[in-house]
Amino acid sequence: FTKLALRPGEVEVAVVKFRAQEATKQWSETQRSWVVEPRCDVLVASSGQEQWRTALYIASPEIA
């Protein structure tokens, strides 16, 4: 997780690194193996009341 403290009107860029293979893999009954989804949803919030949702696309969906 990344936490930023901003003043009103202030803008900052946050970079969060994670392993896509661990964050997006799930068991596929049809393939009978672990697969990596080509995208996952990301939820960004400043509080429990404010939430923005966006999609994160995985550049290389192969599992090492």
Q: Model-level pTM? A: 0.38
**CA 15/CA 63 separation, integer angstroms:** 23
Number of domains making up the chain: 1
| pLDDT per residue as tens, the chain (64 positions) | 667 788 888 888 877 777 767 777 888 899 999 888 777 777 766 666 666 666 666 665 554 4
Three-class SS of the chain: CCCCCCCCCCCCCCCCCCCHHHHHEEEECCCCEEEECCEEEEEECCCCCCCEEEEEECCCCCCC
Domain that holds residue 53: 1-64
